Structure 1
Amino acid sequence: MEYTLHPIHILRHLMPGGGFIPNPHQTLRAVTNIDPFLTLFDDWNACTKKLKEYRHSLVGREQYLARSHIDETDAAITRLATSREDLQITLQRILADIRDTKVDENRLQQLHTAHESSAQRISMIAGQQSDKLRFIEECLNSGATYIGFNGACINEHTLSHDPPPYRFLFNNAVLKSSSSWNEQCTTLREFLHNPKNHNQVYIVDCDAPSEYRELKAPVFGPIRTITKPVIEVSEYHDASAEHRPPTRQAEHQQPPQKCIARCDPGEMGSDTRRPAEHRLVKIPCPGRSCDSHLNREWACATCDTPLEFGTMNNCIYCDCGSAAYDSWDFKCSSDSHGRGFDRYHTDELYRLLKRSKRPDCRNILVLGQTGVGKSTFINSFFNFLTFESFDEAKSARKLAYKVPCSFSVSHWNPSDPDQELENRTIRVGSRDDEHDGTAGNSATQKTSIYKVTYNDTRYRIIDTPGICDTRGPDQDKKNIKDTMNTLRRYEELHGILILLKANEARLTTTFQFCFEELLSHLHRSAVANIVFGFTHTLISNYAPGDSLRPLQSFLKDHTTVDLTVCRANSYSFDAKSFHYLAAYFQGVRSEDERSSRESWNKSRAETMRLLSHIDNLRPHEIRQTLSMEGAREALGHLMIPMVEISQEIRKNISLLEEKMAELNDTRLTGDELRKKLHLERIEVVPTKLDKPRTVCKNKHCCEFKSNTNGEVVPVYKSICHDDCNLKDVTEECVGHPTLINCRAFKETKDKTCKSCKHRWQEHMHFFYELKETKVKVKDKDVERRLKNNASDMALRQEGIERVQQLEKEYRSEHKQLRKATAQFVAYLRENSANAFNDATVVYYDQLIKIEKGKIQFGKDNRVNVDANKRKLKGLTDDRDKHLGLVKTIEENMHAPRDQTEALLTQDGVEQLIKDLYNLKHFGKNLRSLRDDITYYKNHSKRSHHRPRSRSRRSERSLETREDVSDRSCQSNDEREEESGRNRGILRGFHKLLPNF
């Protein structure tokens, strides 16, 4: 572009007749007094924004406002915009006149004065009803009912009078100006928030025409006399029959007691067992002519039992069975209802059921090492909440207890001072599935729930089998899984009480392991609900004693969350008072009643302090823990398949590159060219072995050869134990500790293999192998072109374009796999209560180590290992990119620059898995590989219980693909049996990560 600058007066000669051209010699007056208008327009913009935000806040709240107020707000917005436009036009005209010296600058001052307060005056309506709306919504959220502009009125004939209903009269004027407003409002809030009050409260808006009355102050009190007409309002209605309008005679009749509901038999399930979290269905009737504010109790029309709503599965239960909440129709006992049943709108019914009052419960999980006195603590806890004093417990008819337990007491006969002390075992209760602990066994054998009510609050004590169970570490894992399965039945967990013995100078290694195991299953938010209880504190003057320091050190070194021991979350208990009472009720008298009474007083005070602390904690939502466990399980199942598929994609990209080189060779023509148009793809397929095997990894028991891809792979010559049915051995892990129990090593003192004579640490166990296969990729377009006898040039060009497109799609899916793995890891690190080890990195490191060993073997034996070098480079690149992605997500997840840096949510985990399975080329392979490996692992573990084979050791050598050999150690727990509501939620891989 070229241009030339000319003076303005030249334009008249260059553009004759070209419109208005300013006179260059005319002097324009500068306008200096413009700043006040800039401020004025800023104020105008602020008022416009304020008014529009206020109007937006009224959306969805029209039922609490006069229609005239909304219309006035809309009119103010229009008037403000019109006035601003008029001001702009006038200001432009005056500025032009001032510059042309037609008018004086005083006109600007006059214009400014005329519009200085216009914006504030027009927007004064903004916020007029905001305080009232906030007050109304606060009351509604606390359980009150609004009466006013929504057209509803109070019906005195359908009101419940036990307890009596209350009403709060107010209007906007008293809310803003009454001196008693704050006092009365505080009284109302306290009344609504008091859990002991079950009275229905109506807040009556006296600005509404139907409730209009003069008020000088708000009025709060019970409803005594009501003379207003009845107007019923129901927002949703789905009638199944015609309704008759209520007559005055029907309104004054006393309704029958029973309100019934029915469900289509086809929708009804057979399960009648109520879940742990359930509540009585107590909601208004959806009928058009029924009172929409009167909560009613409902019974099944068939079995006549009260309906109960399960909050975990959203089903309504009766003795007939259970059905989804939105499958039910309702018919109340009011004569005004009519003959038919009515159904709620789904969303409205769900809201009412979720907001219905549920029992006031506290769920407390109790954990402790075997022998800490957990069962005795629970019995003491039950006594402290049942009796106010030691004397009251002593004067009861019998001993109060919940858990079978036993202990020994020493006593002597006072009349015979020369008699030796005798030990007597005191046994409290019995139960088939519990031991009393006298033989050194764990007293609690499975997770149990004990309930006790105190001050109208029900406490559920979730008693778990002891940590460091006497049945072994494998039982500890099962105990933790059993505990987590039990928690799944509840919505919230209010407290996690971890019991430790006082005055123990160190924590056992097993306790540390089990505590970390527990944290690995908990969401990070649950840490705030952990408290510590110290037992046997009589000897340490009711203090933690020597146990405090090692616990503080352990928490500092072994957790990634802020978990400390302080006065607020530590409690000291002693069970001497319960021991005294148990012996007393069995006729054994102790002279040390004074210290037992002191133990009662001190421990009960600590129990009350514990309950007060738990009451003030925010409950942990168990679904958060379940969501995290779902992500952990998904990563556990998908980690190996994702890495394997990632390597599979790399090899397929290499195949495409080779194919591209062939198609670019112009010497390739005719039939040879047509043969090369058919593509192949490598797929990884798991194959289950007939029997689990133990093989030797010593170099003298292995051979190496090249496979069809030119990679060096091992061939195992020594199958040291065919049909090896070891329990709890990690597959493909060289030197796993459980291998020492294999039959191949039991007959030798030094634990060398009786077959190959090598050490047990050089062996590994496995029951499936991964094999690569090549499959042909069919393309309909290629087949069509070949049938149509297309030219060599067209076929070559189309083949090249197809390969380029496939390579692009393969690389895209490879990138998606890497990103998904990083997102899983970042999600678990952010939400796990303890340090989360990235198993993917460990697995890559193990594969890299294996590949380096193969390359070294190839160099030593002068074997071509170029294919292994390419694979090593691919593994290293994938590992580094994985680490980079995880780091990027962790650094930016709280302020992500794009979706790839955002942290996964609960729904995002499920969606990400679906996206991976839906990958165009490798999604089905990923899903198939995941399903097959999981099935083979679980099937093999279940087969451990079959009779052993007596067949001789197989002489066949076993060839495995290199990707399977010498894998990292991963623990894969047995699949939980799925039985009803106790179906397991933790199926594997929680120890996958650290065991690598």
Structure 2
Amino acid sequence: MTVFNLLLLGERGVGKTTFINSLINYFRYDNIDTAVMSTAIVAAPISFSIINANNKDVSLSLNANIDGIYNVKTNTRTKEYLVPINGHQLRLIDTPGFDMSKHEQNQFKNIFQQLGDLQELHAVCFFLRSSDLQLVSVGNLIRQTMANLDVAAVKNFIFIFTEGRKVTFYPTVAKSDLRKIVHTIKSTSPQINIPLHNDNMYCVDNEAFVHLVAYKCGTSLSPKDTCYTEYSWKSSLKECKRLLDYVSKLKPFQLPVDGAVEAIQTLLKENSPRLLDIIESNSQNLEKCEKLVEDSKAVCQLVEAMKRSIEQHEGQSRQANDYRKQNEDNRVTYANIDFSKNAAPLTEHHVDSDIKTNLKKTAIILKKHKEFITDAHKVVDAQQEEIRKTLENFATIATFLEKCRLYDNLGEEIASALSSTRKNEIDRVIKMLKALQLG
């Protein structure tokens, strides 16, 4: 049986805990009528106030009454509910409600430290109000979450809008506000690119479950509330089924090892001076390498020209050898000629002398060309080796920063710049590192 781990985050009073109770009952009973005739399952104790049919405020509460098929694990800051649904198990990790107007970084840190035993999450579920989205608070909630997670986790973010009945399950304004928040986060932290689409946004309503509890406690509701309860139940069940289908297709992401985030951030800051020196040095080497690449191309072209010249001289050498052979053949003829009858006799000395001179010159030229080619190859090899070492340096830095980039905005910026190896990008990184040192 596959277990899907879902972390539930949200401000105080947004309805995370009630959602857990609601979801269990939505999947257990197809409609409110069946639920009323059966036992209302309460995984987490619930207490609330409701307006009854006589328009009076009534306080209701129910203790947990879960049976043996549900497991609950309580930690200092979190409570886990293992819920069997449709052949799977949902591990719903409930967290305390946050007051994002206060400084609660340590609370976030403690929560994520307690998730270490899980090693991975399938989704982080942010609970938001459908009709009252506080832009600053929700933005802070997402940022504090990202401070404890790998940036790749954004692919597994899910946004659940509660109080869906108030907006007839179409939280248009809240979705628009959420897009503004995501855009603002991306503008300040480009590496945090949170996707928003129909598959990771859901609208539910816990009121149907609350009304179920009211029925079980003997509290009568107004006809209007009773009518809305059936609509709310069906709509919320539909959204929960869609949520489960989406979660089952998500690839889980790894949770950071305890202390790894702080260690890497500290490492990056402590090593920023050394990184700055290396990057500046390699930036200069990059310019040299670019010139060397161009020079090596020119040398290669020259070498090719030399090869053609050698082939030409070798052809001349073969032609000279042909002349020598022809002269050897002519010696027999010369031996039978009476040179005394010629005023200016042609001797074999004249022919051999010209051939030997030509061959000697050709040998000298060939030797010089071969020596030059050997030296040229050495130069090219040296240049290629320097290029290789420089690129290895960049690869080493990029590998280190690749590990850091998921936990520190600066690391992401540097890794991106180095991977492009563009001079203007590297210059920008140098300025960033200098600013870090000054900070």
For the aligned pair, the TM-score class normalised by the smaller chain equals 0.5 to 0.7
Q: Quickly say closer, same or farther: Cα 1:369–1:824, change in 2 above 3 A.
A: farther
Q: Quickly say closer, same or farther: Cα 1:524–1:637, change in 2 above 3 A.
A: closer
Matches within 5 A, 1:83-122: none
What's the CA shift for 1:406? 2.4
Q: CA–CA distance in 2 between the matches of 1:546 and 1:888?
A: 38
Matches within 5 A, 1:563-602: 563-591=194-222, 592-602=225-235
SS in 1 for 2:22: helix
Query: What amino acid sits opposite 2:131 in the alignment?
Result: N
8 Å contact kept, 2:404–2:411: no
Aligned to 2:254: 621
What's the CA shift for 1:383? 1.0
Question: Quick one: which of 232, 239, 243 aligns to 1:606?
Answer: 239
Q: CA–CA distance in 1 between the matches of 2:254 and 2:156?
A: 11
8 Å contact kept, 1:503–1:545: no
Aligned to 2:3: 361
What's the CA shift for 1:521? 2.0
Q: Quickly say closer, same or farther: Cα 1:554–1:392, change in 2 above 3 A.
A: same
Aligned to 2:83: 452
SS in 1 for 2:147: helix
Q: Quickly say closer, same or farther: Cα 1:838–1:547, change in 2 above 3 A.
A: same
Aligned to 2:152: 525
Matches within 5 A, 1:890-929: 890-891=419-420
Question: Quick one: which of 94, 98, 101 aligns to 1:463?
Answer: 94
Q: Quickly say closer, same or farther: Cα 1:458–1:635, change in 2 above 3 A.
A: closer
SS in 1 for 2:114: helix
Q: CA–CA distance in 2 between the matches of 1:375 and 1:445?
A: 16
Determine whether 1:379 maps to 2:21: yes
8 Å contact kept, 1:552–1:564: no
Which structure has the highest helix share of the two?
Answer: 2
Instruction: Kindly provide the CA deviation profile for residues 495-515 of structure 1, in whole angstroms up to 9, marking residues without a partner as x.
Output: 2211110122x5342331221
8 Å contact kept, 1:826–1:889: no
Aligned to 2:266: 637
8 Å contact kept, 1:574–1:599: yes
Query: What amino acid sits opposite 2:63 in the alignment?
Result: G
Aligned to 2:42: 401
Q: Quickly say closer, same or farther: Cα 1:381–1:445, change in 2 above 3 A.
A: farther
8 Å contact kept, 1:467–1:511: no
Q: CA–CA distance in 1 between the matches of 2:416 and 2:129?
A: 41
* Structure 2: gaps (5+ residues): 66-74, 277-392, 423-433
Query: What amino acid sits opposite 1:388 in the alignment?
Result: D
Q: Quickly say closer, same or farther: Cα 1:633–1:537, change in 2 above 3 A.
A: same
What's the CA shift for 1:820? 8.3
SS in 2 for 1:466: coil
Question: Quick one: which of 425, 435, 445 aligns to 2:59?
Answer: 425
SS in 1 for 2:181: helix
Question: Quick one: which of 483, 493, 512 aligns to 2:139?
Answer: 512
8 Å contact kept, 1:445–1:465: no
Instruction: Kindly provide the CA deviation profile for residues 379-407 of structure 1, in whole angstroms up to 9, marking residues without a partner as x.
Output: 1011112223322221124x311222322
SS in 2 for 1:497: strand
Aligned to 1:392: 34
Q: Quickly say closer, same or farther: Cα 1:529–1:501, change in 2 above 3 A.
A: same
Query: What amino acid sits opposite 1:827 in the alignment?
Result: K
Instruction: Kindly provide the CA deviation profile for residues 919-968 of structure 1, in whole angstroms up to 9, marking residues without a partner as x.
Output: xxxxxxxxxxxxxxxxxxxxxxxxxxxxxxxxxxxxxxxxxxxxxxxxx9
8 Å contact kept, 2:53–2:220: no
8 Å contact kept, 1:385–1:452: no
8 Å contact kept, 2:127–2:161: yes
Query: What amino acid sits opposite 2:231 in the alignment?
Result: E
Aligned to 2:390: none
Matches within 5 A, 1:24-39: none
Aligned to 1:501: 129
8 Å contact kept, 1:411–1:423: yes
Q: CA–CA distance in 2 between the matches of 1:644 and 1:836?
A: 17
SS in 2 for 1:521: coil
Q: CA–CA distance in 1 between the matches of 2:403 and 2:153?
A: 16
8 Å contact kept, 1:556–1:564: no
What's the CA shift for 1:446? 2.2
Q: CA–CA distance in 1 between the matches of 2:52 and 2:397?
A: 65
CA RMSD in angstroms comes to: 3.6
Structure of greater relative contact order (alpha carbons < 8 Å, 6+ residues apart): 2
Q: CA–CA distance in 1 between the matches of 2:138 and 2:26?
A: 28
* Structure 1: gaps (5+ residues): 1-358, 414-420, 432-443, 648-816, 840-882, 894-967, 969-992
Q: CA–CA distance in 1 between the matches of 2:272 and 2:244?
A: 49
Q: CA–CA distance in 1 between the matches of 2:81 and 2:221?
A: 29
Query: What amino acid sits opposite 2:245 in the alignment?
Result: S
8 Å contact kept, 2:264–2:404: no
Instruction: Kindly provide the CA deviation profile for residues 712-749 of structure 1, in whole angstroms up to 9, marking residues without a partner as x.
Output: xxxxxxxxxxxxxxxxxxxxxxxxxxxxxxxxxxxxxx
8 Å contact kept, 2:53–2:221: no
Q: CA–CA distance in 2 between the matches of 1:507 and 1:412?
A: 33
Q: CA–CA distance in 2 between the matches of 1:371 and 1:569?
A: 22
Question: Quick one: which of 520, 528, 536 aligns to 2:163?
Answer: 536
Question: Quick one: which of 390, 393, 409 aligns to 1:836?
Answer: 409
Matches within 5 A, 1:204-243: none
What's the CA shift for 1:643? 5.9
Q: CA–CA distance in 2 between the matches of 1:819 and 1:567?
A: 39
What's the CA shift for 1:618? 1.9
